[in-house]
Amino acid sequence: MDDKSNIIWHVHKLNKKDRARQKRQKACLLWFTGLSASGKSTTANVIEQKLFELGHHTYLLDGDNVRHGLNKDLGFSDSDRVENIRRIGEMAKLFTDAGLIVLSAFISPFCADRKMVRDLVEEGEFVEIHMATPLSVCEQRDPKGLYKKARQGEIKNFTGIDSTYEAPEKPELVINTAECDIEACADKVIAYLKQKQIIHD
């Protein structure tokens, strides 16, 4: 390990609250978790559009996109999944510090990893949204043909098939996309943000 004793945290004059106030919002991290095809990306995209139209400042971090860049050296073993989420958590924390409403859409199958991210940001900032769409529905949708490949053994460590998904115990929100359409799912989240005064009415 390199000597880090000479690296000193720089205190900036402007802080997160100032940056968020300028944008008429509170910074937060909307953390979508759920099986592949449970609707994380689709719902997060619609919410981001709605927030944009309401004049809010957002940033969407998406699983596949991050794996093409920052995390392209990581695979899908348990240890790589932990590191994947750790880096995403640190990145989301920086975006939150910029005063943004951050949306993140990653399977993030392990409770401990999500807890790690929750603990990185301030109390009340982490909004865990469990996309509780049943596996059977996700598998039937199979928009990228991944479940089929996983069932045939062509993809290993696929969440829900041969890798576990640990459902959140106390998420801030639960959304089952088999029960409501995309608009209604997105509106649930917008209503929550208003109720918690993260955005104004």
Residues that bind ligand ADP (CB under 6 A): 34, 36-43, 105, 131, 141, 143, 177, 180-182, 185
| Residue whose CB is less far from ligand ADP, 25 or 41 | 41
State how far the Cα of 158 lies from the Cα of 27, in Å rounded to an integer. Answer: 33
State how far the Cα of 116 lies from the Cα of 93, in Å rounded to an integer. Answer: 12
In sequence order, the 6+-apart residues with CB closer than 8 A to the CB of 114 are 31, 33, 85, 108, 128, 168
| Residue whose CB is less far from ligand ADP, 20 or 102 | 102
Least distance (Å) from ligand ADP to the CB of residue 62? 8
Least distance (Å) from ligand ADP to the CB of residue 185? 5
| Nearest of 178, 200, 179, 180 to residue 191 by alpha carbon | 200
| DSSP H helices in the chain | 16-22, 40-53, 63-68, 78-97, 111-120, 135-141, 146-151, 182-195
Catalytic residues: 108
Least distance (Å) from ligand ADP to the CB of residue 125? 22
Q: Which residue is nearest to ligand ADP (CB)?
A: 39
| Residue whose CB is less far from ligand ADP, 16 or 40 | 40
Least distance (Å) from ligand ADP to the CB of residue 180? 6
| Residue whose CB is less far from ligand ADP, 34 or 89 | 34
State how far the Cα of 125 lies from the Cα of 103, in Å rounded to an integer. Answer: 12
